[in-house]
Structure 1
């Protein structure tokens, strides 16, 4: 019974390591002449918009870590029982090893989902702030007139 409680506690702690985006990781500036108080209100509105846009992805990341750890513990317990003929000591050892392996795999999978959630959050936040007339970071457009060709090597093509 103690091992079951310990296993559940460890799974809970590992699942708590995964978190939803808490804010944008990009800088947005108010347009010239916009009062800062208005910009702050728009920032808050857009943070709420972005949070709602990524709820499903964030929840998936949280579930991924806990599910993988629980499955790993179950498979480890089964493997421990099979390898040593079902002694309770080996079942516990197998469950512990499976829990660690499952937690590691879950952490990797949930980290990928967490990065995806942050990217989606940033995009939603940028779209919202841009629609309110603020300055958002972007790549130079194709019509900017800048030359982005690589520097010349000094060699001329043979004609």
Structure 2
């Protein structure tokens, strides 16, 4: 029983550390250049304006996606722990080990889903940023 408690605590610590890696976009991951002849000071002002625009445009979406990703990691860990315990259920000495392994595996699967949600939020941020910078007359990368 003591081993099960230790494994469960370690598993939930893993879940907490994996979901803590999830964050909202902090800036664009695309390069935008000023049009020829545009003063750099003006370009910097537009960049700041468009970063704020993109952050506000995706705030609700990215917050919901990040919460969903963290929840997915926790649910995946719990289901993994149950599955691990059931698989090892025939041998009572190994139930705790099976639950611990399942817990860690489920947390990893949930973290991968969370990472996908973070990528989706970043893509939406980039689109809003590019739209704004393009409307200001700047050069944005073409998508082919």
Q: TM-score, normalised by structure 1?
A: 0.70
**How many residue pairs were aligned?**
139
Larger Rg: 1
Shift of 1:36: 0.9
Indicate if the aligned counterparts of 1:28 and 1:129 stay in contact, CA closer than 8 A. Answer: yes
> Which protein is richer in helix relative to its size?
2
Q: Which runs of 5+ in 2 are unaligned?
A: none
Q: Which residue of 2 aligns with 1:94?
A: 98
1:76-95 CA-partner distances (Å, limit 9, x unpaired): 443416853795862x3233
Q: Which moved more, 1:59-68 or 1:122-131?
A: 59-68
Whether 1:78 aligns to 2:96 is no
Q: Which residue of 2 aligns with 1:17?
A: 21
1:26 alignment partner, SS class: coil
Higher-RCO chain (CA-CA 8 Å, sequence separation at least 6):
2
Q: TM-score, normalised by structure 2?
A: 0.76
Q: Which runs of 5+ in 1 are unaligned?
A: 141-159
Superposition CA RMSD, Å: 2.8
- Aligned equivalents of 2:119, 2:10: Cα separation in 1: 29
